[in-house]
Amino acid sequence: MTGTQLDVVLASVVTGLIVIALGLFVRARTSVNNPGATQVLWEWTLATADGLNRGGQTPYRRRATAVAVTLFWFILVANWLPLLPGSPLVAPTSNINLTLALGLVVIALVHVTAIQARGLRGYLRHYLSPVWLAPVRLIEELLKPLTLALRLFGVIFASALMAMLLAELLPAPVAVLPHAVWNLFDVLMGVIQAFIFALLTLLYFDAALPATSTAKEHINE
Amino acid sequence: MNSYGVTLVPDATIVLEVAVFLIVLAVVSRYVLPRLQSAVSERQRRVAEKLAAAEKAEATARTTEQQAAASLRAARQEARRIIEDAYERRDHLIKEGVRKGREEYRWYTGQHLPLGAPVADDVPTTAPPSA
Q: Do B10 and A100 lie within an 8 Å CB cutoff?
A: yes
Q: Does residue A102 belong to the interface with chain B, where contact is any CB pair within 8 Å?
A: yes
> Is residue B11 over pLDDT 50?
yes
What is the number of other CB atoms lying within 10 angstroms of the CB of residue A104? 20
Residue A70 inside a domain? The answer is yes
The pLDDT tens digits for B77-88 are 999 999 999 999
> Does any domain span residue A44?
yes
Kindly state whether residue A159 falls inside one of the protein's structural domains.
Answer: yes
What is the distance between the alpha carbons of residues A79 and A34, in angstroms, rounded to a whole number? 30
Assigned domain for A219 exists: no
| pLDDT for A213 | 43
A70 in contact with B, Cβ within 8 Å: yes
Contact criterion met (CB < 8 Å) for B17 and A164: no
Element (DSSP H or E) covering residue B73: helix B33-108
Cβ-Cβ contacts under 8 Å for B92 (sequence gap 6 or more): none
What integer pLDDT is reported at residue B114 of this predicted model? 61
The answer to whether B39 contacts A30, with C-beta atoms less than 8 Å apart, is yes
> A119 is in which domain, residue-wise?
6-214
Q: How far apart are CA B66 and CA B114, in angstroms?
A: 60
Domain tally for chain A?
Answer: 1
Tell whether A57 is covered by a domain: yes
Predicted pLDDT of residue A101: 95
Contacts of A91 in chain B (CB under 8 A): 4
The pLDDT, as a whole number, for residue A58 is 80
Is some CB atom of chain B closer than 8 A to the CB atom of A100? yes
Residue to substitute from B36, B49, B50, interface A, most A β-carbons within 10 A: B36
Query: In the prediction, which pLDDT does B20 show?
Result: 95
Cβ neighbours of B42 in A, within 8 Å: 32
Q: What is the DSSP string of A17-36?
A: HHHHHHHHHHHHT--SSS--
Q: How sure is the predictor about B119, in pLDDT bands with cuts at 50, 70 and 90?
A: low
Residue A220 lies in a domain: no
Binary contact (A19, B24; C-beta < 8 A): yes
Residue B119 amino acid letter = V
Q: Which residues of chain A have pLDDT under 70?
A: 1-3, 54-56, 212-221
Residue B2 has pLDDT above 50, yes or no: no
Which residue has better confidence, B49 or B3?
B49
**In the prediction, which pLDDT does A65 show?**
92
Nearest CA in chain A to B41: A32
Which CB contacts under 8 angstroms, 24+ apart, belong to A162-168?
A163/A82, A164/B1
Please tell me whether the peptide bond between B118 and the residue prior to it is cis, using omega within 30 degrees of 0.
no
A contacts of B13 (beta carbons < 8 Å): 4-5, 8-9, 95, 97-98
